[in-house]
């Protein structure tokens, strides 16, 4: 066993603790909507993953909390029953302190496993790397979920004044053109993209790209404000039918967390309630809003294949690809040609969700360092707004 896997395990697990450092005990337990999970649940669920898929392979391992197998199983039907997602915030026990003790016990056992000379016969690197990347996904969810929880509080609590560093002011908008119809290879390549990918990034395959242009930067708050002021939320001609239904039923009038005050627009952030920065990329918009804005502006959203090729080939001329906003694409979340889900419970990780969702590319200000890559396929329902999601435009060329 090399030290690198052990170091990676410690680094990822420690980062979850750092995310929780500004929290009070009461902050850990609130579930503000069904899509949000309490921070305590994230901490326990990521620990459950390592216990279930790594430690339980040891013949002498005994869980100290057998009931956690149900409480902290998210959606793995092959593992067993799951506690209802929408009810996670109803539980006062186990306490936050008990969850931290659970993490400490599992960490102790995992470090022992990672130091064993026969470790690879017990748990594969693929499972370990999946567990680490899984925890990194939940680290981003901790921040996005805490933002939603705090947004429900009229005191506008501050998680941290330095929670996430936003991107630099927007560059002048210009277009990166691809003038010819061509076939490009899409998907993960371990020689170019690193040691790990999720199964939905495979297999590599060819995709046909028509002539198009893609924006060098993301849409800004100021540009999106023009859409609002032009009546974008009041004109059904810009909206998909399902999107217009959401506008009407949810009374959408601006991005999530925007508030109109006497002195203009404010946005609730992890650093509290702040004036909307018109130069920053717009954030917390759904696919429906991104698509409507694109139609209003006479453009469209890029496909995920156009996005991947543009980022791969354009270098620094295409800004904010990573570390700013997840970027909605026009692509449905579907399997790549000849995709096959892995066998066993790990095969439930991605494949069974390939219906009714849209692909997002890039990464956000809340994405942990080292978790983003060119071929990463994030996915959410088109109505989702609470993640750090923005807009990059594209257009067709003759």
Contact 264, 359 (CB under 8 A): no
What are the pLDDT digits (tens) for 267-319? 999 999 999 999 999 999 999 999 999 999 999 999 999 999 999 999 888 99
**pLDDT tens readout for residues 260-276:** 999 999 999 999 999 99
Residue pair 330/302 in contact by the 8 Å Cβ criterion: yes
Residue 1 has a pLDDT of 38
- Mean residue pLDDT of the chain comes to 95
Give the confidence band of 166 by pLDDT, cuts at 50, 70, 90. low
The token pair that represents 311 in the structure block:
């980022």
Instruction: For the chain, give the percent of residues with pLDDT over 70.
Output: 97
C-alpha to C-alpha distance for 393 and 219, rounded to whole angstroms = 8
pTM confidence score: 0.96
| Least confident range of 73-87, 185-199, 249-263, 349-363 | 185-199
Beta strands per DSSP E along 131-188? 175-178, 182-186
Mean pLDDT for the stretch of residues 20-30: 98
CATH numbers and ranges of domains, the chain: 3-151 (1.20.120), 175-396 (3.90.1580.10)
d(CA 382, CA 385): 9
pLDDT for res 260 = 96
Only one residue has tokens 């990329």, namely 281
């Amino acid at each position: 066993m090399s030290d690198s896997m052990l170091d990676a395990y410690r680094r990822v697990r420690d980062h979850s603790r750092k995310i929780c450092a500004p929290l009070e005990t009461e902050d850990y337990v609130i579930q503000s909507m069904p899509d949000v999970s309490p921070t305590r649940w994230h901490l326990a669920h990521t620990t459950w993953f390592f216990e279930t898929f790594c430690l339980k392979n040891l013949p002498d391992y005994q869980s100290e909390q057998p009931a956690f197998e149900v409480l902290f199983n998210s959606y793995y039907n092959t593992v067993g029953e799951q506690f209802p997602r929408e009810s996670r915030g109803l539980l006062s026990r186990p306490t936050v302190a008990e969850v931290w003790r659970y993490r400490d016990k599992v960490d102790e056992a995992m470090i022992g496993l990672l130091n064993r000379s026969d470790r690879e016969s017990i748990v594969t690197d693929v499972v370990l790397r999946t567990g680490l990347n899984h925890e990194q996904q939940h680290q981003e969810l901790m921040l996005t979920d805490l933002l939603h929880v705090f947004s429900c509080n009229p005191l506008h609590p501050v998680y941290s004044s330095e929670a996430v560093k936003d991107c630099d002011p927007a560059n002048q908008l210009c277009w990166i053109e691809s003038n010819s119809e061509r076939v490009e290879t899409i998907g993960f390549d371990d020689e170019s993209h690193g040691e790990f990918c999720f199964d939905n990034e495979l297999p590599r395959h060819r995709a046909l790209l028509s002539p198009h242009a893609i924006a060098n930067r993301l849409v800004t708050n100021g540009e999106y404000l023009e859409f609002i002021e032009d009546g974008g939320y009041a004109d059904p001609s810009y909206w998909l039918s399902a999107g217009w239904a959401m506008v009407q039923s949810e009374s959408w009038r601006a991005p999530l967390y925007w508030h109109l005050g006497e002195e203009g627009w404010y946005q609730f952030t992890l650093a509290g309630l702040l004036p909307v920065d018109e130069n920053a990329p717009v954030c917390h918009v759904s696919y429906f809003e991104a698509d409507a804005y694109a139609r209003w502006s006479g453009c469209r959203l890029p496909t995920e294949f156009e996005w991947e090729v543009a980022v791969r080939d354009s270098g620094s001329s295409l800004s904010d690809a990573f570390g700013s906003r997840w970027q909605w694409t026009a692509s449905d979340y579907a399997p790549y040609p000849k995709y096959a889900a892995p066998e066993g419970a790990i095969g439930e990780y991605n494949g069974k969700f390939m219906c009714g969702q849209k692909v997002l590319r890039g990464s956000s200000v809340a994405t942990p360092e080292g978790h983003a890559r060119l071929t990463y396929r994030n996915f959410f329902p088109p109505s989702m707004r609470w993640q750090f999601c923005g807009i990059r435009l594209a257009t067709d060329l003759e």
